Structure 1
């Protein structure tokens, strides 16, 4: 008596789990023997799994080997895919084309349907490398790579995704999913050209030009302001604008920014400044708010000039109408005020330096090894505990990469970790580290990604557990 639907479903699940434990594959006889099924029953369940794209059957010599596959039913792919798709079978012939693919390739279905993929009139499909990747996708190996082709005289930049698929008949195929990045490439190029033109336009201006985020973090400064501030552009980008002003004028600037609206987006004000040589100066700033939908500020554009000489001329003109006593008193008051302002700035600077020194001390003397890696796997910074644990000096450890430090991490795993990087998300694992002398030892690692100054870093906080392994790798 045939089994129930639940029994058949359980048998299919059991076959899937068995194949998952044997990635190199099993024969139908081996599957039937391992699960206590009749060979014909096992073959029938395997046929259903093949039609659903969950299993593949390959002929190896005189035997057929079954193994798990990662295929998508072609009907589901064409229904849910947001990008143009061309489907080919095991004979390299085009058997299905989505309407969006016809629109992208700008041709009727007759030009593509039934043709060999290498015979299609597009340079993308004619290279031996592309044909080989298609055949590998039919065998179950997906691929994702950039490509370029010419369509009706226009060069298109595509990202090609080769997806292994299964037809309703159970036969294997490959879906060529075409992701058109032409508009994005052109927009990026135009944006870069505009940025270069803007930088060239503002580079030689005598005035100051700044762009900030809504929180007044500097995003752009021209060369004139860099020279005036006595700092490089790299030092200024990511710095807050308000700390560049004396404490008394920060509140005035805040109030001016709060008053900006889409209807009245600009304001101007004059503020004092302490020059790099310690003298008191004056600046005039024209501030324009950049607003998005809903009237929310997306940033600010600031154009400034040094009006110290103009302000000094004003003061001199006023002095002609005052007597000598008031002139001396006014000068004395100005100098005292300048000194107080300078002392406040110096006090703030000393406080920041003390906090920075304390943070550096705490980082270096932490009980755990703390190492920051950049995107390429190079060590960006390591504390003294890490150097002592691994046997490196502060200069030597900067030459070590993640792959030299942790032999269990491969380049592929590193790329996968960065592909799902999420700042602040922590992961605690037990792994291994390698000392300078080659000794490998177990560590308990807390991993996380952190973002600083627009860059992402991988943070590893490790603590040795157990005894060190004596093997050297």
Structure 2
């Protein structure tokens, strides 16, 4: 009995009857018993050469409409290797050849357990090949080294029956390197995010779409004193100061309604120990594809120190304003008193000026000499009678310094003038006096009176010349 010929005859009969035939019809057509025909039909179905459909208790067989494996190998983006029952390669697609940079003849009929096989397979795939040869499909994830790079594959081991009913294995390698790299990048990104999340200097909390706490970072716990377990089944309103709850709730509801994308506000939180802490919270919703809120992210910055400083500054400002008002009143009173004093001084100055003008008129017409000495020893004023007594003009008289004038020093008048500047009266005379211009036989009386002008101490000196009386007295004595 020629097995291949009988299998070929069955396939040819079915090609002539594409509408399908039963086992009995096929057995009669190829002239064999029904049992043998059923056996051969099962082999052809398993090999994929024919198709079978069941109608009640009857089986109807058709020519296979499936594309032969060899025809579709090169249309797959996966690597495909077909092995026989000795684990030798009997077919391979172009994607695998491109990956390995080899020709098809370089790999056909070579065993994959051979150390010279191009692809360095992990030995763990051998048991899966053996399982497939026994009819059990399986798959594993494998890593293959290529030019120093790791490539990751999902490998399926599919039991295969060939035309000659021999068993083999089809290995399909799905390249998942990009997915693996993406997963590694995602894992790395998640780890970086976790590190940032746990170590950032502000508090961060996730809340459900019902505003219940899901998770918070370490800084959030430090600010408020709550552990992860403490906040389970708690809403953000549970830890918000009663006076700030309405404003907080209004903002969250606007986020939920989509009328704003985020909000920031300063509010008071109730700490785990019952104390209060000021925080600046910025909250944003994370929405799903349908636009509904999946959860909220809240970022909280502890601003208690700033608030305490602002409160202290406000109190200091209020106190300063109070002091400024008090000081302003004091200054106003002082200014009013000063203005009163200025008015009084003006009146006194006017009166003094009147008195001075009167005194000036008197001194200008006085028959005796008068001059005023300042604390530098020079003259501020001299009357005509004094100029006549001294025998010099006003300019020359005012150039004199009575602290250093030899004729004054000779009779001690310099010291007496200084005593008048210190507030003491003096009287000197009659004394014979020789003036600085050489005028002799002058007999004078000197009277000094302390005075003050515009806050400056001065000496008012009166001088009476008795020279003519002395001459008259001498003339009378000579007549006797």
TM range (shorter): 0.3 to 0.5
Larger radius of gyration between Structure 1 and Structure 2: 2
Normalising by structure 2, report the TM-score. 0.46
Normalising by structure 1, report the TM-score. 0.47
